[in-house]
Amino acid sequence: MNAGLLDFKNKVVLVTGVGRESGGAFEWRFLRLFVFDPGGRVARYELFEDDREVDALARFDALVAGLWPGPLSVHRTTHGRLPREALEWPPGEGARLPRSAAGSTHAHTHGPDSTAGYAGKSFRFSPELVFSHERLARAALRASQGLAGAPLARFKGIFRTQQGFVLLEIAGGTLHEERSHHRRDSRADAIFEGADAAPAAERLAGWLEGAALTERERNARAEEIELALPDGRVCLEAHRDAYGLAPPADEALGRLIAAEDVAARIDLARAHETLAAREGIARDVTRGSAGGPCT
């Protein structure tokens, strides 16, 4: 099996194998269970004798049930054979997930899945949306403080933000967050308790929708290049384009030069060095100047 062809991030894999001790004729047949973390590293490794297939499969099912987000599907194969249709995106997933219009913040919600005294709601958002990390954290904290109208029992979500994918979770009234690897979309689960649990979940939905960046905000962020003219100097600042949202740097710089009419005053070689460095520091790119930071 060529591991380079597979994505092992956040996966549980059960395979059969044969161990040959010291290269001799002795063979030890066994079942191997791997759990891979979000970075693709082996987080857990368990061995079962080959006559314990039922136990190994039960353990596999238990570990898969604990994954969040859960798998799109689970397939058990012989010699790696899979029907072609198993490789297609299920309805509503991946390439089949409805794409929102530009700037839309519509959430695909499922639920409520409620038990007595509780209301749970799941949210799914278009892969195209980018969220404000600050507004997401504020929405989650407001919900944890009961400002949605009911006590929040649990919240867990993975979102695409300006800083990358982040996992936000509230448990015991405390907000926890950590970086996450790329996911196919943004999604969250929330559980409220009490008589007003259902309307509280709807209120949280509105807060989450409002945390998505507007088209204007995304475009402003995507420029990643700023040109200023303090005291007659030409100062250029370039930031890292974390999401590939920005147009080509040379193209963006050309538009700014034309808009500010500074073609005769800018040192293009130094300007391109500033673009390549992307330090987030304003640099003096005035033709004939000594260069350095703009102060």
| pLDDT one-digit tens code per residue, 90-144 | 666 554 555 443 333 444 444 555 456 788 888 888 888 889 888 998 999 999 9
pLDDT tens digits for range 177-187: 888 766 678 89
Task: Answer yes or no: are the C-beta atoms of 109 and 205 closer than 8 Å.
Answer: yes
Structure confidence at residue 208 (pLDDT):
93
Q: What is the pLDDT of residues 57-72, one digit of tens each?
A: 888 888 877 776 666 6
pLDDT of residue 177: 87
**Distance in angstroms (rounded) separating the CA atoms of residues 246 and 243:** 8
Question: For residue 284, what pLDDT band results from cuts at 50, 70 and 90?
Answer: very high
- Per residue in 149-158, pLDDT (tens digit) is 999 998 999 9
For residue 270, name the pLDDT band (cuts at 50, 70, 90).
very high
For residue 38, say if its preceding peptide bond is cis, omega within 30 degrees of 0. no
Instruction: Name the range with the highest mean pLDDT among 39-48, 77-86, 237-246.
Output: 39-48
- Please tell me the predicted confidence (pLDDT) of residue 143: 92
Please say if the pLDDT value at position 188 is more than 70: yes
Going by pLDDT thresholds of 50, 70 and 90, the confidence category of residue 39 is low
- Decide if pLDDT at 295 tops 60: yes
Please say if the pLDDT value at position 20 is more than 80. Answer: no
pLDDT at 179: 81
Task: Let me know: does 150 contact 194? Beta carbons within 8 Å.
Answer: yes
| Of 99-103, 131-135, 256-260, 276-280, the least confident | 99-103
Mean pLDDT of 167-181: 84
**CATH number of the 107-213 domain:** 3.30.1220.10
Percent of the chain beyond pLDDT 70?
Answer: 68
Residues 79 and 166: their CA atoms lie apart, in Å, by 36
Nearest to 64 by CA among 28, 88, 33: 33
Average of per-residue pLDDT across 11-22: 59
> Cα–Cα distance between 188 and 165 in angstroms, integer?
13
Q: What's this model's pTM, rounded to 2 decimal places?
A: 0.51
Higher pLDDT, 81 or 110: 81
Average pLDDT over residues 184-204: 89
pLDDT of res. 87: 66
Tell me which of 275 and 96 has the higher pLDDT. Answer: 275
Tell me what the mean pLDDT of segment 9-23 comes to: 58
- 3-state secondary structure labels for all residues of the chain: CCHHHCCCCCCEEEEEEEEEHHHCCCEEEEEEEEEECCCCCEEEEEEEECCCHHHHHHHHHHHHHCCCCCCCCCCCCCCCCCCHHHHCCCCCCHHHCCCCCCCCCCEEEECCCCCCCEEEEEEEECCCCCECHHHHHHHHHHHHCCCCCCCEEEEEEEEEECCEEEEEEEECCEEEEEECCCCCCEEEEEEEECCCHHHHHHHHHHHHHHCECCHHHHHHHHHCEEEECHHHCCEEEECCCCCCCCCCHHHHHHHHHHHHCCCCCECHHHHHHHHHHCCCCCEECECCCCCCECC
* Sign of the Cα pseudo-torsion (92, 95, 100, 101, in order): negative
pLDDT band at residue 294 using 50, 70 and 90 as cut-offs: confident
